[in-house]
Structure 1
Amino acid sequence: MEEFSAVLIDQVRFNSDGLVPAIIQDENTGEVLMLGYMNRQALKKSLETGITHFWSRTRRRIWMKGETSGHIQKIKEVFIDCDGDALLFKVEQVKAACHAGYKSCFYRAADKANGTWIVKGERVFIPEEVYADVKKNDEYKTDGIAGQSTTETYEKSSEEQNRANEKASILQELYDVIVDRKLHPREGSYTCYLFEKGIDKILKKVGEESSEVIIAAKNRVKSEVVYEVSDLLYHLLVVLVEQGISLDEVYDELKRRR
């Protein structure tokens, strides 16, 4: 699948910022749901997982559509335009694409007579019930991308606050999740898949991710370095769990060296 993704991605013409616009369309109705931007890694993640991922220009990181709300987009078909510089995704949309509660981010139409925008259609969910920290005055705030009224705005404030509080514990939290997957296997879990395949597969992934870090750093693309280092750290944690080594042992060794 990774090789398959690479072949497709190599045929995409990313702009000078390393981004390509991605139009998201309902597979059944043909309704345009939103417009987002993907960098190489977000596109790779989308193709490999079957769920749309985008590059946030405000948070400078990759995010999965619906990662907080659960309103994910399951990819059914992917198209590229004649110039190779725009993508079209036909998806199965869970609930709604728009953070303001509408099925589509394009829920306002031009009223030429009054020179204003009028709301078309009805909300399918109440934002205040989905995003605990949402404020009504921020309802239409976006990431500065035309039509991209996604969950991203509301996810931003809560996530950044949570990350500020949990940065020190995130590695331990991830480690604990990996331990749980080993003790209580779940169908469809990538972590469980790694444990099932064994140490050779795990180490092969560590090698691959290390190479990705080297390539990203050599290219001096900060976002890709962050993304690939995160992948590498995850796989290293899998190694620790497989070997029965705790994070405390690593912390103690680092402290000793310090």
Structure 2
Amino acid sequence: MEYIKLIARMPADASPEQTEETARYFDNCGADELYYYDAQSFEEGKEEDIKIMQAICRSADIPLNVCAKVKRFEDVKKMIYAGAKRVFIKTESEDNLDAVKEASDRFGADRIYLYLEMGNSPDMESCLLRSRKAVEEEGFGGIVLAGDFMDSSYVQAADFLKVKLDVPVFIMAETVDAVVTADLLKMSMASGVVLGCPEKVSDFMEIKQYLKTQKLPVNTFETAIAFEDFKLNSDGMIPVITQDYKTGEVLMLAYMTKESFEKTIATGKMTYYSRSRQELWTKGDTSGHYQYVKSLTLDCDNDTILAKVAQIGAACHTGSRTCFFKELVRKEYDDRNPLAVFEDVFATILDRKEHPKEGSYTNYLFDKGIDKILKKVGEEATEIVIASKNPDAEELKYEICDFLYHMMVLMADRGVTWKDITDELAQRH
């Protein structure tokens, strides 16, 4: 089924930290995608926007759309490499059409959309001509319409273009109201709608549940196995093991009834049944430490659920990250995660950058600047080549570690993270 995408508009004047927090919030509360546009910075060509895009993509698992006035292919490439799924391009003149065509050929037309601003009474014929030329000749793979979203001619234009051109058409809407959004989408055949979200006030799962009652195709959680097919305990409940969706850390064990399971599916927030209080409880309603559902999996016997969640704050009522912290017995073993080791070393390098320490070799490199860092990376790469000719691999191990350390200093200096690297490798794989 083709779902209507609900796209949350990111604030353009927030700090990088606020931007990351907002991106995580919209991801957790059910938005399908994100939208970012900072007109002033794009027009001035500031690099800060690229850093903000990277921060958004680091913080959220859902796709990012970026709106921009581009002049060169390099502008589009930077946004795609920063993590943007699509670039919405304004073409007020034709001086950037070569860049558009090159970007379309390089990355695919489905990632390059025409951003078309419409007046209060759009001329349907001229709108069609401009859009048809964009799709058939200039390399655009979709259309984004901006205008008076409740004007019937604006909605008709969206339908007209989607039917005539057979490409996705997104519309801009200055609202987060579920009823208004439903009215707009019932009038339209839009593939997606960008909802204005100036503050963190929008629970997209609530909006989707209302749109679902209006027979609109939206992407919500749907269980593949009915609760009636679960094997319940003697109290009519099923145990749920909850773990962090990224680290795999086991956070807690609780129980669900049919009602709490259905509320979890509807809201996207973990809701359990308290056996001591004899009532439903949504984790986080009191503490703010919500658990946002990433996946629910039933075991082979249908009698236990494994929930993978994005945990906000602490899972345990004691304030501990996990409820499982009372060690009973332990045998020494190596449980080091390779990526965790990289992240720990990288975190130390970043800390040295932010809080210089006298006598630190890392700070010496940062103080000397990029040329010194690059020189050391080159030298260590050469040392790897030389060590590789030695039959004994021990020396090679040491040289690789030296190279990786200096490479991480370079990453920290240039603002590249391990997540950026692993995401790129995963995409290539």
Normalization by structure 2: what TM-score? 0.25
- By relative contact order (CA 8 Å, sep 6+), the higher-ranking structure is 1
